[in-house]
A = this chain, B = another copy of it.
Amino acid sequence: MSLPKALEGRRRAVIENITPSVDGGRYAAKRCIGDTVTVEADVFVDGHEELRCVLLHRRRGEARWNESEMTFLVNDHWRGTFTVTALGAYEFTVTAWPDAFLTWRHDLARWTAVEDVAVALQVGIALLRDIVQRAQGSDAKQLRKWIARLGADADPMVLRNEALDDAVMMLVERYADRRHATIHDPPLPLWVDPVQARFSAWYELFPRSAASGGRHGTFADCEARLPEIAQMGFDVLYFPPIHPIGRTKRKGRNNALVAGPTDPGSPWAIGAREGGHKSIHPELGSAQDFRRLVSAARERGIEIALDIAYQCSPDHPYVTEHPQWFKHRPDGSIQYAENPPKKYQDIYPFDFDTEDWRALWEELKSIVDHWIGEGVRVFRVDNPHTKPFEMWHWLIAEVKRVHPDVIFLSEAFTRPRPMHRLAKVGFTQSYTYFAWRNTKQELVDYFTELTQSPSREYFRPNVWPNTPDILTAYLQTGQRAAFIARLVLAGTLSTNYGIYGPAFELMEHAPREAGSEEYLYSEKYEIRDWTRERRDSLRPLLARINAIRRGNKALQQDRELRFHATDNAELICYSKATQDGANVVLVVVNLDPYYKQAGFVDLALAELGVDPTQPFEVEDLLTSARYTWRTGRNYVELRPNEMPAHIFRVSPLVPREAQPSAAAKALA
């Protein structure tokens, strides 16, 4: 006989295409604590029986599944939900079976002839007799009462109506025969992050420029800056590497090949005789100073994020202690970074093909562990795409297993597939191409992809208008309006965004040379003395934008992003709404930094949860101006030299209580 022994042929339900699923369950979908997870699947059975379909979910490691009933949507597609209440690993799956009682009930309702109903009642009694064997106590008692009643000498049509009572179904469902239920195997993984993984505003700062007067800044100077950063509303303060900087082949001002005697060098040339990745550059302060800063920041609701840059200066202790971790040149010297014909002689990359890769991986992980020990919970990882993907997979999983609250931001500005792979293997957030998406069509296409494609299950965008490496042509030439437009776009299109300051709020825009995205007098190579108290600083606007983000839940999630038509290619219009429709934010940005642009926006009111038959109010949260709009088509006019954007909060004029059905209908 060719039938495999292990096969159970009566397991007839089919479960396919469960979502959320990343690479068929190989990687975890990502959610944040408190989220309601929506699970969908295609579920069906041969023939015409009625199905039951149950969502199973649990924290990984728990023995018992929690269950929640799934609902049939359409076309063999089912949906269920559960809420995640703890950080870390969850798993879920779906079970389904053709349900004898539901099928019987469904048929019972459709028989018309009395004699057919009478036979069906007999079939029902047999079914309930089977079911009652699995019940106990008062449930069993109740079931026996129904069995007796179905067998009573009464009008079958009356008995039928009693048998169809929902109470019967609800009790019977508890004792369904699940011996031949299909369970989709293996379960799908889900990872639950802190809320900050989804909603965060990052401020990047070179600590050595935190002082004034050109003095080398310290952690204490950074501490003194905290009130200002908190007032601007940022909740992550990210530092480029804080470790001792190499002296050999140190780069000078504006990336000069030879450094002057006072040039501080690039913080990414990590390691000197004072130490390596676990040490602090002496001029910044002590380990104690650092811990104090981390605490002071946390008291203000700010996490200090460190830069993880796995590379060494020629002076790094690793170079002498672990020469086997580096490639060697024919003359025996250590291979510096190169991209022929260019050479980067101040940087030694690790050789991940080393025979000693296990010790290297463990050491690299110990760097993260070290800083977690110092209180750090957020890491920005430099160029992760130039290190093995499997190393990140292992390293991040191991770190998060012990510290599920840790956040890793992937700084991979590379091709789409490696960027996505890094997100799959564990990075919490990812840098994006946002800086180079400037036209309306580019922004619509890119954010539709980011928020609506299946990659949203694992790829969390963190968008930056500028970084120390990226000063775009748009910012170089567009002046104040360009900075504002990009800020509004970043802060409202994406829940996670960041800026490199004070360069951003001071609208620093001179490139090192024409055609370059590098800053002139880049902080990467020198200490800058920023004049922060400028009248034209964008600091108040930053505070406003971040306050708007905090005050509007619609801006704290990305999935409900919808673009709306405008009749002017320089005007982009989009909305975000909470799922219950209670908070709706509508944004219009003039992408042209030079000229006033005006035109009509055509709002899909139903998608906004707005009753199209009633006037509604839009309040510009940037200016506090209020307008009453009566239709979806409305005129807007934005002047770059005043304010190139509207951030409207949309509210019904009639209080919601008085017209409860509008939003509900639209979202139904």
Interface residues, chain A, CB within 8 Å of chain B?
A: 1-4, 7, 9-12, 14, 16, 23-24, 42, 44, 46-48, 75-76, 107, 110-113, 116, 119, 122-123, 126, 180, 329-331, 338-341, 352-353, 357-358, 361-362, 385-391, 394, 398, 415-418, 421
The answer on a CB contact under 8 Å between B415 and A44 is yes
The answer on a CB contact under 8 Å between A7 and B421 is no
C-alpha gap A70/B221 in the complex (Å): 56
Q: Write out the residue numbers on chain B whose beta carbons fall within 8 Å of the beta carbon of A47.
A: 385-387
Asked if A11 meets B390 with Cβ closer than 8 Å, knowing A16-B421, A340-B116, A417-B75, the reply is yes
The answer on a CB contact under 8 Å between A46 and B386 is yes
The answer on a CB contact under 8 Å between A12 and B390 is yes
The answer on a CB contact under 8 Å between A9 and B358 is yes
Q: Write out the residue numbers on chain B whose beta carbons fall within 8 Å of the beta carbon of A116.
A: 340-341
Q: Write out the residue numbers on chain B whose beta carbons fall within 8 Å of the beta carbon of A4.
A: 394
Closest to A21 in B: B24
Q: Which residue of the partner chain, among B9, B112, B385, contacts A388 with CB atoms under 8 Å?
A: B9
Asked if A119 meets B340 with Cβ closer than 8 Å, knowing A9-B352, A46-B386, the reply is no
Q: Write out the residue numbers on chain B whose beta carbons fall within 8 Å of the beta carbon of A11.
A: 390
Q: Write out the residue numbers on chain B whose beta carbons fall within 8 Å of the beta carbon of A112.
A: 341
Closest to A109 in B: B340
Q: Write out the residue numbers on chain B whose beta carbons fall within 8 Å of the beta carbon of A10.
A: 352-353, 357, 388
Closest to A392 in B: B46
Asked if A126 meets B330 with Cβ closer than 8 Å, knowing A12-B388, A418-B76, the reply is yes
Contacts A/B (CB < 8 Å), 11 sampled: A9-B361, A12-B389, A16-B23, A44-B421, A46-B388, A75-B415, A75-B417, A76-B416, A110-B340, A119-B330, A123-B330
Asked if A9 meets B391 with Cβ closer than 8 Å, knowing A3-B358, A398-B2, the reply is yes
The answer on a CB contact under 8 Å between A76 and B417 is yes
Q: Write out the residue numbers on chain B whose beta carbons fall within 8 Å of the beta carbon of A417.
A: 16, 42, 44, 75-76
C-alpha gap A362/B11 in the complex (Å): 17
Q: Which residue of the partner chain, among B14, B75, B385, B388, contacts A389 with CB atoms under 8 Å?
A: B14
Q: Write out the residue numbers on chain B whose beta carbons fall within 8 Å of the beta carbon of A386.
A: 46-48
C-alpha gap A362/B4 in the complex (Å): 12
C-alpha gap A314/B119 in the complex (Å): 20
The answer on a CB contact under 8 Å between B389 and A76 is no
The answer on a CB contact under 8 Å between A415 and B353 is no
Give, as a whole number of angstroms, the nearest-CB distance from A8 to chain B.
9
Give, as a whole number of angstroms, the nearest-CB distance from A500 to chain B.
26
C-alpha gap A1/B16 in the complex (Å): 38
Q: Write out the residue numbers on chain B whose beta carbons fall within 8 Å of the beta carbon of A387.
A: 46-47
Closest to A365 in B: B2
Q: Write out the residue numbers on chain B whose beta carbons fall within 8 Å of the beta carbon of A75.
A: 415-417
C-alpha gap A633/B387 in the complex (Å): 55
Q: Write out the residue numbers on chain B whose beta carbons fall within 8 Å of the beta carbon of A388.
A: 9-10, 12, 46
Give, as a whole number of angstroms, the nearest-CB distance from A524 to chain B.
21
Give, as a whole number of angstroms, the nearest-CB distance from A278 to chain B.
19
Q: Write out the residue numbers on chain B whose beta carbons fall within 8 Å of the beta carbon of A329.
A: 119, 123
Q: Which residue of the partner chain, among B44, B357, B391, contacts A418 with CB atoms under 8 Å?
A: B44
Give, as a whole number of angstroms, the nearest-CB distance from A144 to chain B.
19
The answer on a CB contact under 8 Å between A113 and B341 is yes
C-alpha gap A389/B398 in the complex (Å): 41
Q: Write out the residue numbers on chain B whose beta carbons fall within 8 Å of the beta carbon of A352.
A: 9-10, 12, 46
Known interface pairs A10-B353, A14-B421, A107-B340; 11 further A-B residue pairs with C-beta atoms within 8 A, sorted by A's residue number: A3-B362, A4-B394, A9-B358, A10-B352, A12-B353, A16-B421, A46-B385, A46-B387, A46-B418, A111-B341, A126-B330
Q: Write out the residue numbers on chain B whose beta carbons fall within 8 Å of the beta carbon of A123.
A: 329-330
The answer on a CB contact under 8 Å between B390 and A9 is yes
C-alpha gap A237/B520 in the complex (Å): 80
Q: Which residue of the partner chain, among B2, B16, B415, contacts A76 with CB atoms under 8 Å?
A: B415
The answer on a CB contact under 8 Å between B418 and A110 is no
C-alpha gap A116/B47 in the complex (Å): 73
